[in-house]
Structure 1
């Protein structure tokens, strides 16, 4: 089982093998690949730092404790009608994405995210709507 915070549910949709450090990318790629290959993987929704934050590089400000990040977590969980503490399968999260989100939600909820300009997360939401699941990371 993986522990994930709210905004990482959207980050995983747009993940394309880029990140903050080699260690962070290796960790996120492994988690992403597991969910892609096995959507029955259990996820516990947590408040604050999660299994991806564990590998965030220790250089400068640790944004995992930023008020803005916590606000994104809350907004995304609320949008998908999920709650902190829930334990669900990744495929259930995908069903919540299909039911409660549209690609343009990224522009609103993730407005301040430095990764948003790539457009990958919007593409990821659209691909979930199309039943494709998570994109293969090459």
Structure 2
């Protein structure tokens, strides 16, 4: 079972192998690949730093505790109709995305995210809406 915070549910959709450090990328790739290959993997939704934050580099400001990040977590969970502490399979999260999310939601929910300019998160949501699941990381 993976412990993930709200906004990382969307980050995983847009993940294409980029990240903050080599360790972060390796960790994110491992989690992403597991969810892609086994959508029945259990996820526990947590408040605050999660298993992806564990590998955030210790080189400057640790944004994982910023209020804006907590607000983004809350907004995404609310959008999906999910809550902190819930345990569900990744495929159930994808189902919630198909029911409650459109690609343009990234523009408002993730408005201040530095990764938004790449456009990959909207593509990731579109893939889920079309039933394709997570994209393979090259």
Q: TM-score range by the shorter chain?
A: over 0.9
- Residue equivalent to 1:57: 57
Deviation at 1:27, TM superposition (A): 0.1
Tell me, in whole angstroms, the C-alpha distance in 2 between the residues paired with 1:104 and 1:66.
24
1:54-79 CA-to-partner distances (Å, cap 9, x unmatched) read: 00000111000000000000000000
Point out 4+ residue stretches in structure 1 off by more than 3 angstroms: none
Tell me, in whole angstroms, the C-alpha distance in 1 between the residues paired with 2:33 and 2:6.
19
- Residue equivalent to 1:102: 102
Segments of 5+ residues of structure 2 without an aligned counterpart are: none
1:88 is the counterpart of 2:88: yes
Alpha-carbon RMSD across the aligned residues, in angstroms, is 0.2
Tell me, in whole angstroms, the C-alpha distance in 2 between the residues paired with 1:56 and 1:111.
21
> How many residue pairs end up in the alignment?
138
Tell me, in whole angstroms, the C-alpha distance in 2 between the residues paired with 1:103 and 1:59.
32
Tell me, in whole angstroms, the C-alpha distance in 1 between the residues paired with 2:56 and 2:44.
19
- Residue equivalent to 1:17: 17
Segments of 5+ residues of structure 1 without an aligned counterpart are: none
TM-score, normalised with respect to structure 1: 1.00
